Structure 1
């Protein structure tokens, strides 16, 4: 059995079990085969179009885990197309930190010509092999250091960078200036050599600090989540286009009908008054998605949708009526109770299971669940929070949508 035959036949098997059976297949390059099987299994989840393409070579595990998923790569393609149209050109782009090439394979589709730059020779060979299989014939692969190549490249319409987020010891970095290459140091060259630059950054990074560090060059901030988990922070830099900074909070749920986008201008809304919770009124409670939680745009969100925050630090919002197209989850509040034992006993009658979340509350979920003696699950949602008056309350709710 050849290595290629082994990969095709066993690619749905557990790689740990396959590794233990390596002696049964003396003609198979087992380390390479296991890399390909593991890569294909990850791609089936993150990159189904790639997984369905025969002949694609996958890189080692770390590159596969760190690469973009199809939804986030498609988002970047849409963004590149919008900005190319905005600056009036779609002739050329260069990805200075190509990696496995997922983002490049998408964003390059917006341009007539595209250059992939990567200093890792192995990744260059893999990408050079994969691009034609993926139908990309407008690309040039260059094995070079990003900083050195930037100093020689002709002006481009778009430059794309995904700086490495680990230091020489392998520890994660969250400061922009600590990433490699140092985008802050390269800023003058990036602005000189592109009509716009797109930066892909860690969602752990403080976007306010990044905007400040980039000295007024940032035109858009995109905070991108997939299925409720914040995945990427994208910054678009340009001196060609003059505009107010805008922040885009996108949640790319795997179901397109539940994807959401909230756009705002920082500082555009005055603080909204806290809600006065009343136990006799049925209200709707709204929980923002992960992108909005990362953005911290709670006043802008409340103003845009006519809601009131439970309190300044609870990050839950109330309304008397349903809020259509809310970027997050909405629930019907059936009961509100304090932590008074008598009130609790009455409010929890008939509830044996519930999904519990704590927001600005002195107990953890595990501690509260133990106190309430309620199992996990079911269709009841309990939000434990603190009002503006400092009272600890439970919002007993059911999903609205």
Structure 2
């Protein structure tokens, strides 16, 4: 059995079990085969179109875990197309930090010509092999250092950078200045060489500070979540387009389309006071998605959707009527209780399992679950929070949508 045949036949098996059986397959390059099987298994979840493409070579595990998923890569393609249209130019783009090439394989489709730049020679060989299999014939692969290449590149419609977010010891970094290459130092050259630049940054980064560090050149901030988890922070920089800064909070489905999108202008005049809303049976409870939580745009959200905050620090919202397009999850409150033992016993009667969340509450989820003696799971959702008047409440709810 050849290595390629082994990969095709055993790619759905547990790689740990396969590693133990290596002696049975003396003609198989087992380290390479296991890398490919593990890569395909990750791609089946993150990159189903790539997993379905016969002959694609996958890189080592770390590159696979760090690469974009299809929904986020598709989002970047849509963003690149929109901005190319805005600047009236879609001739060429360069990805200065190519990596495994997932983002490049998508964003390059918006341009007549595209260049992939990566200093890791192994990744360059892999991408050069994969691009034709993926139907990309407008691309050039260059093995070079991003900073050195930037100094020689011709003006582009778009430059794309995903700076490395690990230091020399392999530890994660989230500060813009700690990433490689240092985008702040490169800023003048990036603006000189592109009509717009797209930066992909850590979702842990403080986007307000990043905008400040980039000296008034950021036109859009995109906070992108998938499946309820904040995955990427994208910044679009340009001096060709002059506009107010806008923040886009996108929550994507696994089908690569935008499930919800909330857009706002930082510094707008939206002001929402602490709620005096009476929480009772049949009140609708709304929990913003991960992108909005990251953005921190709670006053703007409340003003846009006509909902009332439980309190300034709860990040939970209430309404008398359903809000069909609310960007997040919505629930119907079935019972409300204080932490009084008698009230708790009555409110929790018949509930053996529940999903518990604490927001602006003195106990952790683990501490509260232990006190309530309720197992995890089921279709009941308990939100523990503190009202504007300082009262600790449990909102016992079920999903509305």
Q: TM-score w.r.t. structure 1 length?
A: 0.98
Q: What's the offset of the Cα at 1:281?
A: 5.4
- 1:101, 1:375 → 2: CA distance? 43
Query: Retained in 2: the 8 A contact 1:361–1:384?
Result: yes
Q: What's the offset of the Cα at 1:396?
A: 1.1
Label 1:2 to 1:280 Cα distance change in 2 as closer, same or farther (>3 A): closer
Query: Retained in 2: the 8 A contact 1:245–1:265?
Result: yes
The range that moved more, 78-87 or 272-281, is: 272-281
Query: Retained in 2: the 8 A contact 1:279–1:335?
Result: no
Asked if 1:382 is matched to 2:382, the reply is yes
Q: For 1:39, what is the secondary structure of its paired residue? A: helix
- 1:269, 1:294 → 2: CA distance? 20
- 1:365, 1:175 → 2: CA distance? 30
Q: What's the offset of the Cα at 1:277?
A: 4.4
For 1:173-205, what per-residue CA distance to the aligned partner results, in whole angstroms no more than 9, with x for missing partners? Answer: 110011000000000000000000000001011
Q: What's the offset of the Cα at 1:394?
A: 0.7
Q: What's the offset of the Cα at 1:88?
A: 0.3
Q: Report the counterpart of residue 205 of structure 1 in structure 2.
A: 205
Q: What's the offset of the Cα at 1:132?
A: 0.3
Q: What's the offset of the Cα at 1:255?
A: 5.3
- 2:26, 2:181 → 1: CA distance? 43
- 1:18, 1:281 → 2: CA distance? 55
Query: Retained in 2: the 8 A contact 1:279–1:337?
Result: no
- 1:13, 1:386 → 2: CA distance? 49
Q: What's the offset of the Cα at 1:258?
A: 7.8
Q: Report the counterpart of residue 260 of structure 1 in structure 2.
A: 260
Q: TM-score w.r.t. structure 2 length?
A: 0.98
Label 1:236 to 1:115 Cα distance change in 2 as closer, same or farther (>3 A): same
Query: Retained in 2: the 8 A contact 1:278–1:336?
Result: no
The range that moved more, 17-26 or 79-88, is: 17-26
Query: Retained in 2: the 8 A contact 1:59–1:100?
Result: yes
Label 1:244 to 1:177 Cα distance change in 2 as closer, same or farther (>3 A): same
Q: What's the offset of the Cα at 1:27?
A: 1.1
Query: Retained in 1: the 8 A contact 2:201–2:233?
Result: yes
Label 1:143 to 1:169 Cα distance change in 2 as closer, same or farther (>3 A): same
For 1:118-160, what per-residue CA distance to the aligned partner results, in whole angstroms no more than 9, with x for missing partners? Answer: 0000000000000000000000000000000000000000000
Q: How many residues align?
A: 401
Label 1:59 to 1:350 Cα distance change in 2 as closer, same or farther (>3 A): same
Q: What's the offset of the Cα at 1:378?
A: 2.0
Q: What's the offset of the Cα at 1:280?
A: 4.6
Query: Retained in 1: the 8 A contact 2:379–2:398?
Result: yes
Q: What's the offset of the Cα at 1:389?
A: 1.2
Q: What's the offset of the Cα at 1:75?
A: 0.3
Q: Report the counterpart of residue 233 of structure 1 in structure 2.
A: 233
Q: Structure 1 stretches of 5 or more lacking a match?
A: none
Q: Report the counterpart of residue 244 of structure 2 in structure 1.
A: 244
Query: Retained in 2: the 8 A contact 1:284–1:322?
Result: yes
For 1:258-290, what per-residue CA distance to the aligned partner results, in whole angstroms no more than 9, with x for missing partners? Answer: 811100001213321222243555311100000
Q: For 1:256, what is the secondary structure of its paired residue? A: coil
Q: What's the offset of the Cα at 1:230?
A: 0.5
Label 1:40 to 1:294 Cα distance change in 2 as closer, same or farther (>3 A): same
For 1:351-370, what per-residue CA distance to the aligned partner results, in whole angstroms no more than 9, with x for missing partners? Answer: 22221111111111121122
Q: Structure 2 stretches of 5 or more lacking a match?
A: none
Query: Retained in 2: the 8 A contact 1:269–1:303?
Result: no
Label 1:215 to 1:280 Cα distance change in 2 as closer, same or farther (>3 A): closer
Label 1:280 to 1:317 Cα distance change in 2 as closer, same or farther (>3 A): closer
- 2:278, 2:175 → 1: CA distance? 44
Query: Retained in 1: the 8 A contact 2:277–2:308?
Result: no
Label 1:236 to 1:256 Cα distance change in 2 as closer, same or farther (>3 A): closer
- 2:334, 2:3 → 1: CA distance? 60
Query: Retained in 1: the 8 A contact 2:71–2:255?
Result: no
